[in-house]
Amino acid sequence: DVLPCVKILVIGNGSVGKSSMIRRFCKGAYNENYKKTIGVEYLEKEVEIDGYGDVRLMLWDTAGQEEFDEITREYYKDTDAVVLAFSTDDRPSFETVKSWCSKIKTICADVSMVLVQNKIDLIQQAAVSSQEAEALARDLRMRLFRVSVKESLNVEEVFTYLAQKQLEK
Ligand code: GDP
Ligand code: MG
């Protein structure tokens, strides 16, 4: 078949919820147990986008700490859009966002990127203020989504937003 296809990478530090987000969106499932991602995996989901019809999203997941080897090259190739995620209760994951962003910009030209603050359900243990998150998004000219993969809050919005952006290109 000839469905339009959008390749989306999910990046960010380890344990911010990248794998959980992809699993939640593609399979509607959530698991408390942390299983470290080894290498690269992807899942697909077809969605209907207003005005465009059905689209196939390919969501690429990876371990965050890998080097630029053959696997990573394959991973970044032909990327259309990027989800850059950090976690509400993890200060270092927030502080690494800028370097993730510049890394992506040197490898993938012309991708749409969004900033995701995951684990918003842990707002009581927040290590990042909402002003800081907003300021960073503004700095990097990215739209900010506040998400809880655990509570299934705002996950679909992230991916349909990126799909829409890609189709409008
Ligand atoms: P990854 O290393 O970025 O792929 O992170 P994982 O998806 O493996 O998630 C790391 C841990 O965070 C797991 O124990 C998840 O259950 C948990 N987690 C993921 N999303 C959320 C969320 O929205 N809220 C909370 N409280 N925990 C989450
Ligand atoms: Mg993972």
Angle between helices 155-168 and 18-27 (to 10 degrees): 80
Report CA-CA distances (Å) from 4 to 10, 50, 61, 140, 156: 20, 14, 20, 28, 18
Is the distance from the beta carbon of residue 117 to the nearest atom of ligand 1 less than 6 Å? Answer: no
Q: How far apart are CA 6 and CA 40, in angstroms?
A: 17
For residue 113, list its beta bridge partners. Answer: 82
Per-residue model confidence (pLDDT) at position 98:
96
Q: In the structure encoding, which two tokens stand for residue 9, read together?
A: 């990478």
Count Cβ atoms below 10 Å from residue 142 Cβ, excluding itself: 18
Q: How far is the CA of 64 from the centre of ligand 2 (A)?
A: 8
Q: How far apart are CA 119 and CA 85, in angstroms?
A: 10
Q: How far is the CA of 126 from the centre of ligand 2 (A)?
A: 21
> Does 75 have pLDDT greater than 80?
no
Is the distance from the beta carbon of residue 20 to the nearest atom of ligand 1 less than 6 Å? Answer: yes
Q: Whose CA is nearest to atom 19 of ligand 1?
A: 17
39 phi-psi bin (left φ>0, alpha ψ -120 to 50, beta other): left
Q: How far apart are CA 52 and CA 49, in angstroms?
A: 5
Ranges 19-28, 39-48, 79-88, 158-167: which has the least confidence: 39-48
| Position in ligand 1 atom list of the atom nearest CA 13 | 3
Q: How far apart are CA 71 and CA 86, in angstroms?
A: 23
For residue 47, list its beta bridge partners. Answer: 55
> Does 47 have pLDDT greater than 70?
yes
17 phi-psi bin (left φ>0, alpha ψ -120 to 50, beta other): left
Are the beta carbons of 80 and 60 closer than 8 angstroms? Answer: no
pLDDT band at 159 (very low <50, low <70, confident <90, very high): very high
Question: Collapsing DSSP states into helix, strand and coil, what is residue 87?
Answer: strand
